[in-house]
Structure 1
Amino acid sequence: MNDITSAVPPFHLAFPVHSIAAAREFYGDLLGCPEGRSAEDWVDFNFYGHQIVAHLSPDEVGHRKTSAVDGDAVPVRHFGVVLPMDQWQAAAKKLTAAGLSFIIEPHIRFKGEVGEQATMFFLDPSGNALEMKAFANIASLFAK
């Protein structure tokens, strides 16, 4: 396993969307993810150094189940990124100013406990759930 302080190999995630144009607007324009290769029915993005690929598949879009976590109904199927706290705060400010509707508003979860973290959840235009989180101390990422 990699130590969280060392370079981490990029992950690859493919997910369904109802519209490639809407994916480009959301991931490229709003989130600021540079676009990579694409075809008529897919497009990949650089998501904080990781490769995510939006595939046109309208029948598979959206999250369907939630799980209770520290008083929130967290979408079971979601992906996201762990950012440094200053970047998380900037993202929360940018997304709030853009009028993005959060399914879980930016806040601190597990206050005073191991694993205390800043978190926010929102949906892309196809209903895929994303989480952005941050830790005051990144060494707490896998702490028990």
Structure 2
Amino acid sequence: MRDNNKVFHLAIPCKELDETVDFYEKMGCKLARRYDDRVTFDFFGDQLVCHLSPENIDAEPSMYPRHFGITFLDKEEYEKTLAFAIKKDLPFFNKPMVRFEGKREEHLTFFLIDPANNLLEFKYYHDAEMAY
């Protein structure tokens, strides 16, 4: 079980540290640490570490199977995040859409792409039980 004293950690590749910092700070993430080979962010309450690794960048990223992001339990938070991404002119990989329309697992989603072609999904399920 995850309690409030636990933080999820994810490490991903980046091709250049400055552009990575610019992107994630523009998204509203707080830079926690910076070293010569990586940067660490507070990514919506979890820890995201971007390791300088230009040789490991996906040249042609696809949504599946590799992406990460946030599942909102509050529709208003999802909508605010979408409006923020549009206002900040963040790069969309996929525009907002409805997945599994008409099914119990129906959800709203959009994908952003960071400078190293990592894909970030933001989604909201109409049925909160489908978030897991």
TM class by shorter chain equals 0.7 to 0.9
Q: Which amino acid aligns with 1:56?
A: L
1:34 correspondence with 2:24: no
Following superposition of structure 1 onto structure 2, how do residues 1-144 of structure 1 map, counting pairs within 5 Å? 2=1, 7=4, 9-28=6-25, 30-62=26-58, 64=60, 66=62, 74-83=63-72, 84-142=74-132
1:47 and 1:77 map into 2 onto residues whose CA distance is: 18
Which is further off, 97-106 or 12-21?
A: 97-106
1:87 and 1:63 map into 2 onto residues whose CA distance is: 32
What secondary structure, in the 3-state scheme, does the structure 1 residue paired with 2:95 have?
strand
Q: Which amino acid aligns with 1:88?
A: Y
Greater relative contact order (Cα < 8 A, sep 6+): 2
What secondary structure, in the 3-state scheme, does the structure 2 residue paired with 1:21 have?
helix
CA RMSD across the alignment: 2.0
1:20 and 1:11 map into 2 onto residues whose CA distance is: 22
Q: Which amino acid aligns with 2:49?
A: V
Checking the alignment, whether the CA contact within 8 Å between 2:110 and 2:122 is kept in structure 1 is yes
Unaligned runs of 5+ in 2: none
What secondary structure, in the 3-state scheme, does the structure 1 residue paired with 2:101 have?
coil
2:20 and 2:32 map into 1 onto residues whose CA distance is: 13
Q: Which amino acid aligns with 2:20?
A: A
Count of residue pairs the alignment pairs up: 131
Which is further off, 90-99 or 121-130?
A: 90-99
Tell me: CA distance 1:65–1:56, structure 2 relative to 1, closer, same or farther (3 Å).
closer
**Which runs of structure 1 show a deviation greater than 4 angstroms over 4 or more consecutive aligned residues?**
none
